[in-house]
A and B are shown apart, each in its own frame.
Chain A
Amino acid sequence: MSVESISGRAEETIISSAMPRDYFQLMKPRVMYLVIFTAFVGMLLAPGGINPLIGLIAILCISIGAGASGALNMWYDEDIDRIMARTAKRPIPDGRIKPEQAFVFGIVLSVFSVMMLGVMVNWLASFLLAFTIFFYVAIYTMWLKRSTPQNIVIGGAAGAFPPMIGWAAVTGTISVESIVLFAIIFLWTPPHFWALALFRLKDYENASVPMMPNVQGEKSTRLQVFVYAVILGLTGILPAVLGYASLVYGLFATVLGARFILLSWKVWREGSEDNNHAHEKKLFGFSIFYLFALFAALGVDGIVSRVVF
């Protein structure tokens, strides 16, 4: 019996045609870059030092762990990814990788990254990474995402852990400073995703994902975006207030936060479908810049303080 007679078409099943880049795509590279970046900043800001090679291993493990949770997320969400325009070209819905291959890939990488981080760096960082993967896959993807409009609020914690893990990799502890770094990303997630959800409303509706605008309405979502923006703007300044970032950083964070709040205000008061969701799109774009700029500033601040003092 040939493969053709089993499957109909050899290229469709039995033997994979997936290229390495398909597996890389499964790891959500853009999320991974953000994770690498924020974890690195967490390590830079942490008091004390770490051997550069051990630091590199820590970053590698954290990014692989994030990639693993991305793969497991894509494995579980195959059905809804197929429906949404934004995700339809992902490796599984596109037929390049089978769900079970993605599952095994995700599990292997999860175990590898957690064990390697524990053995080579420290077990607190390893535990935090394991918890992050569990939180993202089991709590967010399997449970919250499809059951509550608070999905990305609580699920956002998973994306907020990397700087805390970076900090723990250096110090072996969890402290107020690292919790503030966690809080910045945690509070950033709702306005970021709800801005997206406001102009991708139908996508989420078609996939039956209960995003805030679909469940509680656009008006309520816009108000919540603004409230989160205000809290985020204030939290962004905390590293300077607590003394582990400079006054220059504090001023920079204030300006960035003010802009975030202003754009959120516009989303709340003036945003609508009539102008093609211009305010929402603007806020979404700025939110990405905001997080990048804030953590870049923290990183530069960390480097300068190490060099100068």
Chain B
Amino acid sequence: MAEGEFTQETVEMTDKQKKAQRARNIALAVILAGFVVLLYFGTWAKLGANILQRPL
């Protein structure tokens, strides 16, 4: 190895691991998006018009 040369140790994932990771990422993204939507509309449903009646 030449002086100053930088070698990085990396993790090589197998195809199965890559596929699984991608599937998990997509599932997590869908769940998080669903959570945001649910929370947004849930807040409207729970508070309703009271949202506009907050004391300043």
Contacts and interface: CB of A to CB of B under 8 A. Distances in A.
Contacts of A2: 9, 11-12
A124 to B, nearest CB: 16
A57 B39 CA distance: 9
Interface string B1-32: 00000000101111011001101101100000
Interface in A12-65: 14-20, 23, 51, 53-54, 57, 60
Interface string B36-55: 00110110011000000000
Interface residues of B, number: 19
Q: Which size bracket describes the interface of A in this complex?
A: 10 to 19
Nearest to B41: A53
A-B pairs with lowest CB-CB distance, top 10: A20-B27, A53-B45, A17-B20, A51-B45, A15-B17, A3-B11, A120-B42, A17-B16, A11-B14, A17-B17
21 contacts: A1-B9, A2-B9, A2-B11, A2-B12, A10-B12, A10-B13, A10-B14, A15-B13, A15-B17, A15-B21, A16-B17, A18-B24, A19-B20, A51-B45, A53-B41, A53-B45, A54-B42, A54-B45, A57-B38, A57-B42, A120-B39
Given A2-B9, A10-B12, A19 B24 contact: yes
Contact of B17 (A11, A57, A120): A11
Interface of B: 9, 11-14, 16-17, 20-21, 23-24, 26-27, 38-39, 41-42, 45-46
B11 A15 contact: yes
The interface residues of chain A, by DSSP majority, are classed as: loop
A149 B3 CA distance: 70
Given A14-B11, A54-B45, A20 B24 contact: yes
Nearest to B30: A20
A11 B20 CA distance: 11
Given A2-B12, A17-B14, A120-B46, 6 more contacts: A11-B16, A14-B11, A15-B11, A17-B20, A20-B23, A60-B38
A54 B46 CA distance: 7
Given A51-B46, A54-B42, A120-B42, A18 B20 contact: yes
Given A3-B12, A19-B24, A10 B45 contact: no
Nearest to A50: B45
B48 to A, nearest CB: 9
Contacts of B27: 20, 23
Contacts of B46: 51, 54, 120
Interface string A158-175: 000000000000000000
A256 B45 CA distance: 40
Nearest to A20: B27
B49 to A, nearest CB: 13
